[in-house]
Amino acid sequence: MPIPLLSLSRRLRSTPYTPRIEALGVKAYTVYNHMLLATVFRSLEEDYQHLCDHVQLWDVSCERQVELSGPDAARLLQMMTPRDLGRAVVGQCVYAPVVDADGGMINDPVVLKLAEDRYWVSIADSDVLLFAAGLALGGGLDVRVAEPEVYPLAVQGPKADDLMARVFGEAVREIRFFRFARLAFQGHPLVVARSGWSKQGGFEIYLDRLDLALPLWDALWQAGQDLDVGPGCPNLIERVESALLSYGSDMTRENNPFECGLDRYCQLDGPEFLGREALRRVRDAGPARRIRGLRIDGGALPPCRSAWPLSASGGNAGRVTSAVWSPRFDSNLAFAMVERAYWEAGTRLDITLPDGAARHGIVCNLPFAES
């Protein structure tokens, strides 16, 4: 069956790097925050191997920044997240689940504290701007909520430090994980963080000058020629092997942070936030289901476009949310939202694929461990 193409239009936003990634042969896009996000250049496996061995430039412009600024910026941010941001310092990145009043996951952004009264909420795929603007309006808060012209470019892979040092100077090596510095590119200071949606190491450059997008891409590209720099993008294989969850796929507003294994980012006895009462109830009763790892038998699986039902002796055991063949584990790996009665490691579950075929999976802890 032929796979339909995405129709492109202005509504589906391009990025300032789009000309380069198309010249470099991007093979597939997805849509993320109403913007194009590459998913494949050569093949999923070749992109994965290259990411693990070399260094890649990722156009992650779709990681939109929701900027909160003004006297009530910190208050609005804390209303939206169970994570206690009281001790966050300027120059820090903080992974912070955003929840609604029922404790449902709205997003799982990285928050950058730019100043005491200015934050970038670097969002996953949902309209946080509208949520934040509504809260500000309803609460009569003195805060500006905006989507600035910021187009993050990630540099990921084991040679990322060497490549970045050539363009931004040796100071990049001093940036600690989940911290950022302002480093000059062509005389303009850019926010450069040691972060990114892989576990292969690297940086994210928060480009806030449209006219510097192609010069920045070209400078990194040229400086990296002898490092085998390549185009890349968040890679399904790498992110599943590394247990990085994707909002919209692995968790939705139907799930609370405990179900998503984000317990360590929830401080329910800290500052007040919207969903605190709801999440206290979940904490006290225990979550009904949880994201778990699953090793699935047999050969490579099709892409997980719908939640695949899980069962055990006829009962509903949950659903598979992402799945991929892992070269490193020599097995299919998956994330699954597994009902409490079945979530113990070692539990054997039946999977029904969309074509009706059956597979078996074994529940395991995240992150996946090589056995």
Using CB under 6 A as the criterion, which residues of the chain lie in contact with ligand THG when the complex forms? 63, 95, 108-110, 122-124, 152, 178, 195-197, 204, 244
Q: How far is the CB of 349 from ligand THG (least distance, A)?
A: 25
Of 141 and 251, which CB lies nearer to ligand THG in the complex structure? 251
Q: How far is the CB of 119 from ligand THG (least distance, A)?
A: 13
Of 266 and 349, which CB lies nearer to ligand THG in the complex structure? 266
Of 202 and 224, which CB lies nearer to ligand THG in the complex structure? 202
* Residues 32/38, Cβ–Cβ less than 8 Å: no
Of 92, 98, 101, 109, nearest to 33 (Cα)?
109
Q: Give the distance, in angstroms, between the CA of residue 141 and the centroid of all CA atoms in the same chain.
A: 29
Q: How far is the CB of 241 from ligand THG (least distance, A)?
A: 13
Q: Which residues contact 343 (CB under 8 A, 6 or more apart)?
A: 289, 290, 292, 363
Q: What share of the chain is helix, strand, coil (3-state, %, to 5)?
A: 25, 35, 45
Of 112 and 282, which CB lies nearer to ligand THG in the complex structure? 112
Taking every pair of Cα atoms in the chain, the longest distance, rounded to a whole number of angstroms, is 65
Of 108 and 161, which CB lies nearer to ligand THG in the complex structure? 108
- How far apart are the C-alpha atoms of 234 and 251, rounded to whole Å? 18
- How far apart are the C-alpha atoms of 67 and 75, rounded to whole Å? 13
Q: How far is the CB of 314 from ligand THG (least distance, A)?
A: 35
- How far apart are the C-alpha atoms of 331 and 116, rounded to whole Å? 47
Q: How far is the CB of 266 from ligand THG (least distance, A)?
A: 13
